[in-house]
């Protein structure tokens, strides 16, 4: 049984999710101590507990320590069974993070397709929103040979949650390596300003602020305003039309936050990305290393920012897999990831 320390690196839930996925993929049991030790509320929170239980369900695992607030977990996997599953987080916990835990075990050498219904948050803090997953993450997975289809049936914001995402995962027999060097300079941006249960002027102000700032950066801007049901909540997404996949940056509304600041958060990320020399965005980078560690052949990709999430994820993968994974470049700046 592997002994893992949840306080390593950035000390967050990524350690747990990657450990669960790799345990299912390799059949290796593990004990994880100090779960989320680097967070203000350490231990398992609802979305992390659901990641554990979802992994245990699809992999017929024996689990000890999967209670809310638990700081230690033992996970002993069985065989992964594709099928139709429903997972309700019960809060605004991120549906995308539960998906990141189980999609690869359900796809890799699977005997059939799977369908998932995930209920919780679709646009919440400290996690990739649905639009990022569908616009950027999913196309990256397709480049690797993974066919994952996503559909948002209802948005879910903090604190209510209640968002519903439907996911179809197809079997994958072989994962392809990836090579992304300097990206082609992008000049076109699509602004997606959306709100649910809020006045129309909110989306208008978000779009107006983003458009003004982006045009000041000499970018071509196209605007889409959307009105959703449920809520209340709002988001602004900026789709930068990069190669080899579009890159989405987003800002989220919250009580007391002006619409203009929501737009500024997304624009600030996009401007920082463009000034980095580009490459893979930091949110995608830490998700790419896991499937690429299972791919045949070497991969190399430039990343716009070497994040603590990326470095921590590399450390966890090395514990489960005998694969050389190196990251060149200082933390917080651009760099290059090589998987030999």
- Mean pLDDT per 10-residue run, the chain (340 residues)? 95 96 98 96 95 98 97 98 97 96 97 98 95 98 98 95 97 96 83 96 98 97 95 96 95 96 98 91 95 96 94 97 93 94
- Residue 181, pLDDT score: 82
Instruction: Tell whether the torsion through CA atoms of 26, 102, 172 and 146 is positive or negative.
Output: negative
Q: Quick one: pLDDT at residue 183?
A: 66
Taken as a whole, the chain contains a residue count of: 340
Structural domains of the chain sorted by starting position, each given as residue range(s) with its CATH number in brackets: 1-80 (3.30.110), 82-173 (3.65.10.20), 188-274 (3.30.360.20), 279-340 (3.30.1370)
Q: Is 261 left (phi over 0), alpha (psi -120 to 50) or beta?
A: alpha
Question: Which amino acids are annotated catalytic?
Answer: 309
Helix/strand number for the chain, H first, E second: 9, 16
Angle between helices 282-294 and 308-320 (to 10 degrees): 10
User: What local confidence, expressed as pLDDT, does residue 231 receive?
Assistant: 85
The pLDDT tens digits for 260-319 are 999 999 999 999 999 988 899 999 999 999 999 999 999 999 999 999 999 999 999 999
> What local confidence, expressed as pLDDT, does residue 230 receive?
85
Mean pLDDT for the chain overall: 96
pLDDT at residue 330, as a whole number: 85
């Amino acid at each position: 049984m592997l002994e893992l320390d949840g306080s390593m690196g950035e000390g967050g839930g990524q350690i747990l999710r990657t450990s669960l996925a790799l345990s299912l993929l390799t059949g290796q049991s593990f004990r994880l101590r100090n779960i989320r030790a680097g967070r203000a509320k350490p231990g398992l929170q609802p979305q992390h507990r659901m990641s554990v239980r979802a992994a245990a369900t699809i992999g017929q695992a024996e689990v000890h320590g999967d209670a809310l607030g638990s700081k230690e977990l033992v996970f002993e996997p069985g065989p992964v069974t594709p099928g139709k599953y429903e997972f309700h987080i019960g809060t605004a916990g991120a549906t995308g993070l539960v998906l990141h835990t189980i999609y690869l075990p359900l796809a890799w050498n699977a005997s059939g397709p799977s369908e998932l219904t995930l209920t919780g948050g679709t646009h919440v803090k400290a996690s990739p929103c649905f639009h990022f997953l569908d616009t950027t993450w999913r196309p990256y997975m397709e480049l690797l040979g993974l066919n994952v289809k996503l559909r948002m049936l209802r948005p879910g914001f903090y604190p209510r949650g209640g968002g519903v995402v439907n996911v179809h995962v197809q079997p994958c027999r072989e994962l392809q390596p990836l090579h992304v060097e300097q990206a082609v300079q992008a000049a076109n941006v699509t602004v997606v300003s959306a709100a649910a249960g809020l006045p129309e002027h909110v989306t208008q102000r978000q779009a107006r602020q983003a458009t003004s700032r982006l045009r000041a950066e000499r970018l071509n801007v196209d605007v889409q305003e959307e009105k959703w049901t449920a809520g209340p909540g709002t988001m602004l997404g900026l789709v930068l039309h990069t190669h080899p996949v579009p890159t989405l940056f987003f800002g989220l509304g919250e009580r007391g936050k002006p619409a203009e600041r929501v737009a500024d958060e997304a624009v600030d990320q996009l401007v920082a990305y463009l000034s980095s020399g580009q490459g893979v965005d930091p949110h995608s980078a830490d998700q790419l290393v896991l499937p690429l560690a299972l791919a045949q052949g070497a991969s190399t990709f430039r990343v716009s920012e070497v994040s603590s999430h990326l470095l921590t994820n590399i450390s966890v993968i090395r514990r489960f897999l005998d694969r050389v994974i190196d990251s060149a470049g200082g933390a917080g700046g651009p760099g290059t990831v090589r998987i030999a």
